[in-house]
Amino acid sequence: MALWGGRFTQGPDQRFKDFNDSLKFDCAMALEDIDGSIGWAKAICEAGVLTLEEKDKLIQALNELRQEIADDPHKIAGEADEDIHSYVERRLIEKVGQLGKKLHTGRSRNDQVALDLKLWCRASSVKISEALVHLEKTLVECAKRHQGQIFPGYTHLQRAQPITFSHYILSYVQMFERDYKRLQNALDLMSTCPLGSAALAGTAYKIDRDALAVDLGFKEATFNSLDAVSDRDHVLELLSCASISMVHLSRLAEDLIIYNSGEAGFLELSDKVTSGSSLMPQKKNPDALELIRGKCGRVVGALTGMLVTMKALPMAYDKDLQEDKERLFDAMDTWHSCLDMAALCFEDLKLRESKVESAAKGGYSNATELADYLVSKGIAFREAHEIVGRTVLYAIEKNKALEDLSVDEFEKFSQVVGGDVYECLKLENIVAKRDIKGGTAPRQNALEIERLEKLLASR
Ligand code: ARG
């Protein structure tokens, strides 16, 4: 049953109907449509459009429908209705007859869809926030388990300076923490309710829009009906939160893939998140991480797609806006599953300590420390840099680490080197010295773990 037709002398071409209908995907907003309809029934009852009895009857039927949908959620997608709003209205009329036809008084599908989608966005943000917190907690636990473990720190994928593994893991917690806050900010901006804006000009019925907004979980009603029916900033914002977070996830995935490779061998991913090759029996592929990395493209694509859909959209509602849903639903599902999968990758993740340590020791990652040592003996940093450069070249030729050189060998490059140089070249001492806020020292890591544990427990 279409919600319109009086003005038409002919039905739609089937090909147009298939092209135009959105039920197959907007059925995901069935519960939101029912919540919104219940809110609307109450509001128009207050305005004198429905009697108390009629309102109760409608609400009861809508709740029944909610239960039926919960019992068989996949059934709706196959129905012939144009969209979820038409479906809910048809089913309501089937249940309560003529009375069902009163519910749409003063409402348009334009404010209805704006409301449903905003409610969906809010619910989805809450679910994703929980997944972010879960991932952060998993990472903090991992950092805590491996406290004090030395790890090679890289710039340009070249070993640069030793760090701790905890410090490395906690760097990603910072990113996901910003993702969490970004999402809360987005949620905060989604706190106005568009219902009552009608098609574009605002409803003519005297309803209390602010009370309706609060009833539906918002802070207040929107301030301009034209904007309210055509605003999809919350979709853009969620997609941009999702994209930034997926970029973070893709970086984490890429790091772990590299560290898990045969060449690095720092980690071993568990069998739970890897798969084999159909041809090569020895293979254990990091598929979970590769998919996380790959799916980043899909989410960023959803954001760019939606930005282009919104660009130059005439005020107010245009059917272009129906293009907001599929990619938003897909992007949020993708983001959610990638967050969960990233957390799963840390379950039973094995750190190969001896590999990590020898990698941290190699690559002359204590060279900067030797330069600082020379500075402490009164040599200017630029000169110290040059001396250490030459010393490293010599050590490479001899196939030795810096700490394996004798004092005599050091003296070839600088007279100030003494026996105390060996303590200063020890990786444990190097990391322990970075004992300032944000530094890699195990003491700082412990403080940060404590801070994050408290913060995450409070959510
Ligand atoms: N399915 C439509 C959408 O998703 C619902 C709103 C339709 N409004 C209209 N005037 N045709 O945008």
- pLDDT single digits (tens) 129-155: 999 999 999 999 999 999 999 999 999
pLDDT of residue 279: 79
Instruction: Tell me the pLDDT tens digit for each residue of 230-254.
Output: 999 999 999 999 999 999 999 999 9
Range 3-8 average pLDDT? 81
Range 83-90 average pLDDT? 98
Q: Per-residue confidence at 277, pLDDT binned at 50, 70, 90?
A: confident
Q: Which residue among the candidates 156, 278, 406, 458 is catalytic per the annotation? A: 156
Which residue minimizes the CA distance to atom 4 of ligand 1? 322
User: CA 106, CA 345: separation in Å to the nearest integer?
Assistant: 51
pLDDT of residue 383: 96
Range 251-267 average pLDDT? 97
Please tell me if the CB atom of residue 322 comes closer than 6 angstroms to any atom of ligand 1.
yes
| Residue 235: other Cβ atoms inside 10 A | 26
Q: Per-residue confidence at 441, pLDDT binned at 50, 70, 90?
A: very high
36 pLDDT above the threshold of 70: yes
Q: Which residue among the candidates 261, 275, 277, 376 is catalytic per the annotation? A: 277
Q: Which of 7, 8, 18, 83 to mutate to test the pocket of ligand 1 (most atoms within 8 A of CB)?
A: 83
pLDDT of residue 356: 96
Are 192 and 218 spatial neighbours (Cβ–Cβ below 8 Å)? yes
403 pLDDT above the threshold of 80: yes
Q: Which atom of ligand 1 is nearest to the CA of 83?
A: 1
pLDDT of residue 1: 64
Please tell me if the CB atom of residue 26 comes closer than 6 angstroms to any atom of ligand 1.
yes
Instruction: Tell me the pLDDT tens digit for each residue of 287-328.
Output: 999 999 999 999 999 999 999 999 999 999 999 999 999 999
Q: Which atom of ligand 1 is nearest to the CA of 82?
A: 1
User: CA 351, CA 349: separation in Å to the nearest integer?
Assistant: 7
Range 430-437 average pLDDT? 97
| Helix, strand, coil share (%) of the chain residues, nearest 5 | 65, 5, 30
**Long-range contacts, 154-160 (Cβ 8 Å, 24+):** 157/258, 158/363, 159/359, 159/360, 159/362, 159/363, 159/364, 159/365, 160/365
Instruction: Tell me the pLDDT tens digit for each residue of 359-393.
Output: 999 999 999 999 999 999 999 999 999 999 999 99
Q: Is 175 left (phi over 0), alpha (psi -120 to 50) or beta?
A: alpha
Range 91-105 average pLDDT? 97
277 has catalytic annotation:
yes
* d(CA 318, ligand 1 centre) in Å: 8
226 pLDDT above the threshold of 80: yes
Q: Which atom of ligand 1 is nearest to the CA of 199?
A: 10
pTM of the model: 0.94
Average pLDDT, the chain: 96
Q: Which atom of ligand 1 is nearest to the CA of 317?
A: 10
